[in-house]
Structure 1
Amino acid sequence: MLHIQKHLLLLSLPPCATASTLLSLRHHGLFSLTRFSAAAAAAKSAGHFAVEEYLVATCHLTPDQATKASKSISHLKSPSRPDAVVAFLAGLGLSAADIAAAVAYDPRLLCAEVDRTLAPRLAELAGLGLSPSQIARLVLVDPTRFRRPTVISKLQYYVPLFGSFETLLQALKNNSYLLSSDLEKVVKPNVALLRECGLGACDIAKLCIPLPRLLTTSPERVRDMVAQAENVGVRRGSKMFRHAILAVAYISEEKIAAKMQFLMKTLKWSDAEARIAVSKLPVVLRSSEDKLSRVSEFLISEVGLEPAYIAYRPAMLTYSLERRLMPRHCVLKYLKDNGLIESDKSYYSAVQVTEEVFVEKYISPYEDTAPHLAEDYAAVSSGKIPTRSRFKGPKAGHASAQTA
């Protein structure tokens, strides 16, 4: 039987399968079925096949998992077919733990015929250029879909869309429904709509990581997301539209409207200013109201920025108050108060740069004139106010209160 299975696996490979493919499959142990020949004798008892015992002893399921899984395969009368499936999976390179996970997820996988279902599917996937290890990972994502013929057409569509099998696999781990959703009625209409909005394949792939169910959501729901993104002031085709979709996805129109009202009230913005801010940085809609309140109060009351100025630079609203906005303000104030930099030096230019650049521009040049500046800045950034801090006044006290 093992010889026949091995022969069928070889015959099932398509003519386009290269010698390197065959060598790769052999290297990964695909045809090393003989080491599992002893499994055929497992869980046999006087003509009766004990399914639960087999699942525990051969597939390494826990007793609870075996009890649950056995309900789906109670009709099996012998271990011959499950043995062949286990050997096939092991030949792909799946570990005992991997096989246990696959069987627990989809017990009926053990009922599949290796020569008529699994081996042909393997050959088709190899024909698409997938390596044995990639095929093994696909099996782990969704054993059920792996053995169905439709998986081939799905992969032929998704791999070019996502740019690579690895990127697709990442999306599949978050949403295996990509392999079961209707391409023609659901997925393709959603992709077409997103393309109409100016999103390319790369943009769509990036969206599917934080929004794994985007392509498998009903087209009507996706149209609503597009409309909501436009309603908050982000136009189709802009580079921010992808971020706008991410910001409004799966949030009701009422909640989005309430958030816009909150922004206008808290930051003293007009409707136009709120839309300007959101169009420049849609993710601000997902910031918590508590953070927005604290940051806006600091920027307006302590730093002295005008609300309209903030509207055109909304990134400041997303920075950490305690670790970025406050410490850098303290440094700039000290340098300005001591005449070490121009009094009109932009606060925004100081907070938008990376930590490395900030230290290089605002800390390092003053090691001689302000020897404790670096130490005090590090302390304030970690939530501490050093005893001999050069950062005096209400700002230091404010930082202490915020980090208490």
Structure 2
Amino acid sequence: MLTKDPRVLESDAYTVVEFFRAHGFSDQQISDLTMKRPTLYLFNAHKIFKPKLEFFRSLGLSELEIAKILSTEPYILERSLENQIIPCVQELRRILGNDENVLKAIKACYRVLECKVEKVLQPNISMLLSCGVPMSLILKMFLIQPKSMLMKTYRFSEIVDEVMKLGFDPNNLLFVLAIRSMAVMSKSLWEQKVEAFKSFGLSKDEIYAAFKKQPMCMIASENKIRKLMSFFVNKLNMTPSMISKNPNLLLLSLEKRIIPRCSVLHLLISKGLVKEETSIVYVFRMSEKRFVDKLVSKYQNEVPDVVSAHQGKIEFQGFPFDLKI
């Protein structure tokens, strides 16, 4: 902390700490904001911070929510209430229509309170409108992932152009989801993920075809992509093209969903209770409730190990046959 700002030694740190405690901050949250922004100890807490906390409460945020926001993003406390925070909220209210949506945006991306919204968000909205994207989809995108709409206009324009070239329909939700996926990573990270897919035999055309079907498939980390692809190809004997045709598989958790369900299916097939022709993709797509009802609860008296398999306690070695996709 002192390497960041040694002036803290000359501040009235005790008063600032007590101020945060009195306003619902836990000791851990105070520690977090201290390490992130020790400069806060140089401010008069009652004069500078209190009006901001009161303003956030007037928006409908609870004391616990305010503490969470400010301990995560303490830089907000250094922003001017009159020149930055209030104008930002007013602009968000104008664009989003009501305070409920404003709160959703703030909770989804705390840093929105630090942006010059009218200089960043409005130009990006105008760009999407000019491409034929309905305002309803723009607002949906912003409320899901505000960060993607708060990019510098030149970079946002590049992404929109790329999505248009790929042939996405501006009237379809997939259009804004594609923008969102591209917006949350750098160009170099995007290329690293493309190379990860290529290393398993997928062509660039197949990768982008999968992206067009399910834009969120590129959100997964490079490590997750490699782990999932390796499991599908090496353990389930799926061809890479099968995966590119079913990109929703790349949104699933390997440890929590895919492996336990494979273990359950393997156990039930080995007991002759489920046919080998069962579609593995269908099994993966089932809701948790339907999967438990159809393949766990139904057979747990007859095959008690099915519960352990579903809990991930039985190691999955692979199927001795090729499953139907």
Q: Place the TM-score, normalised by the shorter chain, in its bin.
A: 0.5 to 0.7
TM-score w.r.t. length of structure 1: 0.56
Q: 1:188 to 1:317 in 2, by over 3 A?
A: closer
Residue 113 (structure 2) aligns with: 176
Q: 1:182 to 1:204 in 2, by over 3 A?
A: closer
CA shift, 1:225, in A, is: 2.6
**Could you tell me how far apart the structure 2 residues matched to 1:322 and 1:132 are?**
36
Cα displacement string for residues 252-279 of structure 1 (whole angstroms, at most 9, x for unaligned residues) = 435434432432341x334332222112
CA shift, 1:222, in A, is: 1.4
CA shift, 1:230, in A, is: 4.4
Of 166, 174, 181, 1:247 maps to 181
SS at match of 1:148: helix
Q: How does 1:333-352 map to 2 (within 5 A)?
A: 333-352=266-285
**Could you tell me how far apart the structure 2 residues matched to 1:132 and 1:274 are?**
42
**Could you tell me how far apart the structure 2 residues matched to 1:132 and 1:298 are?**
44
Residue 305 (structure 2) aligns with: 373
Residue 200 (structure 1) aligns with: 138
In structure 2, list runs of 5 or more residues that go unmatched. Answer: 1-8, 321-325
Residue 222 (structure 1) aligns with: 156
**Could you tell me how far apart the structure 1 residues matched to 2:218 and 2:79 are?**
37
Task: Assess if the C-alpha contact under 8 Å between 1:228 and 1:253 holds in 2.
Answer: no
Return the letter of the residue paired with 2:144: K
In structure 1, list runs of 5 or more residues that go unmatched. Answer: 1-51, 63-85, 386-390, 398-404
Cα displacement string for residues 59-100 of structure 1 (whole angstroms, at most 9, x for unaligned residues) = 4469xxxxxxxxxxxxxxxxxxxxxxx9xx9xxx95799999
Return the letter of the residue paired with 1:207: Q
Size of the aligned set, in residue pairs, is 292
**Could you tell me how far apart the structure 2 residues matched to 1:175 and 1:159 are?**
13
Return the letter of the residue paired with 1:225: I
SS at match of 1:366: coil
SS at match of 1:287: coil
CA shift, 1:226, in A, is: 2.2
Return the letter of the residue paired with 1:302: K
**Which protein shows a greater Rg?**
1
Structure 1's consecutive aligned runs of 4 or more residues displaced over 6 angstroms after TM superposition are 95-103, 108-113, 131-134, 138-141
Of 275, 285, 300, 2:218 maps to 285
Residue 190 (structure 2) aligns with: 256
**Could you tell me how far apart the structure 2 residues matched to 1:132 and 1:351 are?**
39
CA shift, 1:311, in A, is: 1.6
Task: Assess if the C-alpha contact under 8 Å between 1:106 and 1:143 holds in 2.
Answer: no
CA shift, 1:156, in A, is: 2.3
Q: 1:255 to 1:145 in 2, by over 3 A?
A: closer
Of 304, 307, 323, 2:240 maps to 307
Q: How does 1:120-159 map to 2 (within 5 A)?
A: 130=59, 142-143=76-77, 145-148=79-82, 151-159=85-93
Instruction: Give the percent of matched residue pairs that are identical in Structure 1 and Structure 2.
Output: 20
Cα displacement string for residues 333-384 of structure 1 (whole angstroms, at most 9, x for unaligned residues) = 343344323332211111122333212111222235x3233244145x14x4
Task: Assess if the C-alpha contact under 8 Å between 2:210 and 2:246 holds in 1.
Answer: yes
Bigger mean CA deviation after superposition, 275-284 or 331-340: 331-340
Task: Assess if the C-alpha contact under 8 Å between 1:350 and 1:358 holds in 2.
Answer: yes
CA shift, 1:281, in A, is: 2.4
**Could you tell me how far apart the structure 1 residues matched to 2:95 and 2:232 are?**
43
Q: How does 1:73-92 map to 2 (within 5 A)?
A: none
CA shift, 1:221, in A, is: 1.7
Q: 1:323 to 1:341 in 2, by over 3 A?
A: same
Residue 202 (structure 2) aligns with: 269
Return the letter of the residue paired with 2:205: A
**Could you tell me how far apart the structure 2 residues matched to 1:192 and 1:226 are?**
12
